[in-house]
Structure 1
Amino acid sequence: MNFAIINGKLVNRSEAKVDIEDRGYQFGDGVYEVIRVYNGKMFTVKEHLERFVKSADSIGITLPYTIDECTALLEELVTKNKLVEGTIYMQITRGTSPRNHVFPARDVVPTLVAYTKEVARPVESFTHGVKTIFIEDIRWLRCDIKSLNLLGNLLAKQKAAEQGCFEAIQHRGDQVTEGSSSNVFIVKKGTVITHESNHLILKGITKEVILQLCAQNNIPVEERTFTLDELVAADEVFLSSTTAEVMPIVEMNGDKVKEGLPGPITRKLQTLFTLEIEKQCGRLK
């Protein structure tokens, strides 16, 4: 992984530097995306880049490249780094200017960076499931923006890690929102239920693929808020993210979900999601 992108140019990663007064470094003034790569091909790249542009627009940053230009740059990065299976991380900040809470002048150019990382699919966890904890959601109220300001998410994830868990399921009062880096789903009497996409959660790309797969395969879905009591009483629980795909949750706060095994709807969605990957990126090993 020797190459990175800095402002539209492919450079040696050792040369990939940003200024100490970059507003992403000093204020977290920017947004980011993580795109999955399978068989050297980007999965749902259009959807990720559309969300990237929307997040940037939401905080007044104009992407200096079109989606097609970004796609071409990322494809070149994947090829140059010979990435077969992994992720692309990309972010844009408001640029470099003397430190001031007020936005800089319009002639300040945003800083766009991207790099790749080898990441294997977590196949063992797909089979056995993962453990989670519950934690109060202390984040700001624009979680729909994929902002660089992730301190609330980090504190939640760290608390989960300290308890030997994969993820922290966040809630505001008794209303479940999402994981620290994932969307959360429950299954009750054959119906998949997940939080509606509003300002309290990130509209996950993997989540949207799952909802499309449910519609195509006659799996009932409800997009609505659900409570901690509903979560605990669910027949199945799973989470989704770019790297976790469709991940079964088998234990929450030390208590098993049903028999402590991935449920039938979760397993079906895992299969359907794998087929969707193969449709876009070719057969997986």
Structure 2
Amino acid sequence: MSNVYWYGNRYVSQEEVLISPEDRGYYFGDGAYEVFRFYSGRLYETDAHLKRLWHTAAGLRLTLPFTEAELTSRLEELVRRSGAADGNVYLQITRGAAPRAHPFPKGAEPVVMAYASSVDRPLAAMETGIRAVAVEDIRWLRCDYKTLNLLPNVMAKQEALDRGADEAVLHRDGTVTECSASNLMIVKDGTVRTHPANRFILHGVTRAVVLRLARAAEIPVLEQPFTLDELASADEIFITGTTVEVTPVVALNGQAVGSGKPGPVTRRLQQQFAATLPS
């Protein structure tokens, strides 16, 4: 499997990717990113990822130097050149390189970089479940933009690891939002509940797929904020995301969730999600 990057509108090796020290992504985190999943060499839910990327770019007033069709073609070729079957494509666009100053620079050209990497499906975690802990959500108020400003997420993830868990469940004054690197759903009395897709969470592509599947299966869905107390009393908890798919949470703050094993609604949604994957 080759190590190929898309940079400067060319397919190059990693050694040929040269980032300026004046790049605004380096100085300010001034840019957007997107992570696409591919299975059997085929991109998954491409249109949804593109819609989110354009939403982020519009919010940041960031000009994207390609059309949706052009970007899709480039990423598909990147996947092909990588030689990977299952994996991720990481795409990053910064506002460009310019002398360090807070205002948007005039004439700076966006810097685009992308690469594909082989990533296996998280089957072990999906089968046995993961542990989570509650962590205060200290992020800014536009979490619906997928920007490069991820330090609060990094700090939350590290706190979870330091406390012997795998993921951090974020909350704002006791209202649960999402996780450090995934969306969060609970099941109570057969109903799937999750925070609404507003500015306090990232509008997850896998989140949207799972909610669509749940509704199609006539599983009740409630997009409404819930509290830490409601989280603690949930029958089931699971996370969703491009890299984690549908992964059960079997322990929260050191206490078992439900029976301490993945629950029936989670299992059903895992099966339904797997049925949507390219083969």
1:211-259 deviation per Cα after TM superposition (whole angstroms, max 9, x unaligned)? 1101211111000100001100111100101000000000000000011
Identify the residue that residue 117 of structure 2 maps to in structure 1.
Answer: 117
Identify the residue that residue 264 of structure 1 maps to in structure 2.
Answer: 264
1:8-63 deviation per Cα after TM superposition (whole angstroms, max 9, x unaligned)? 22112210121110100111000101111111111111111111111011010011
Identify the residue that residue 33 of structure 2 maps to in structure 1.
Answer: 32
1:82-112 deviation per Cα after TM superposition (whole angstroms, max 9, x unaligned)? 111111100111001111111100x211111
1:163: how far off? 2.0
Alignment of 1:61 with 2:38, yes or no, is: no
Q: Give the letter for the 2:13 counterpart.
A: N
Distance 1:231 1:59 in 2: 33
Q: Give the letter for the 2:137 counterpart.
A: D
Distance 1:75 1:150 in 2: 27
1:197-224 deviation per Cα after TM superposition (whole angstroms, max 9, x unaligned)? 0010000000000011012111110001
Structure 2 residue ranges without an equivalent (≥5):
none
TM-score (norm 2): 0.98
Q: Give the letter for the 2:41 counterpart.
A: G
Q: Give the letter for the 1:145 counterpart.
A: Y
Q: Give the letter for the 1:216 counterpart.
A: A
Identify the residue that residue 227 of structure 1 maps to in structure 2.
Answer: 227
The 3-state SS of whatever aligns with 2:268 is helix
Identify the residue that residue 15 of structure 1 maps to in structure 2.
Answer: 16
Is the CA contact (8 Å cut-off) linking 2:7 and 2:17 kept in structure 1?
A: yes
Is the CA contact (8 Å cut-off) linking 2:82 and 2:117 kept in structure 1?
A: no
Distance 1:17 1:5 in 2: 12
Identify the residue that residue 80 of structure 1 maps to in structure 2.
Answer: 81
Matches within 5 A, 1:1-285: 1-105=2-106, 107-277=107-277, 281-282=278-279
Distance 1:241 1:17 in 2: 30
Distance 2:204 2:32 in 1: 15
1:124-149 deviation per Cα after TM superposition (whole angstroms, max 9, x unaligned)? 11111000000010111110100100
1:7: how far off? 3.3
1:164: how far off? 2.4
TM-score (norm 1): 0.96
Distance 1:190 1:245 in 2: 20
Q: Give the letter for the 1:271 counterpart.
A: Q
Distance 1:71 1:110 in 2: 18
Distance 1:40 1:184 in 2: 28
Distance 1:17 1:264 in 2: 49
Distance 2:73 2:154 in 1: 32
Distance 2:69 2:193 in 1: 34
The 3-state SS of whatever aligns with 1:276 is coil
Q: Give the letter for the 1:207 counterpart.
A: R
The 3-state SS of whatever aligns with 1:198 is coil
Distance 1:152 1:15 in 2: 31
1:147-176 deviation per Cα after TM superposition (whole angstroms, max 9, x unaligned)? 100010000000111122110000001100
> Which deviates further from its counterpart, 107-116 or 21-30?
107-116
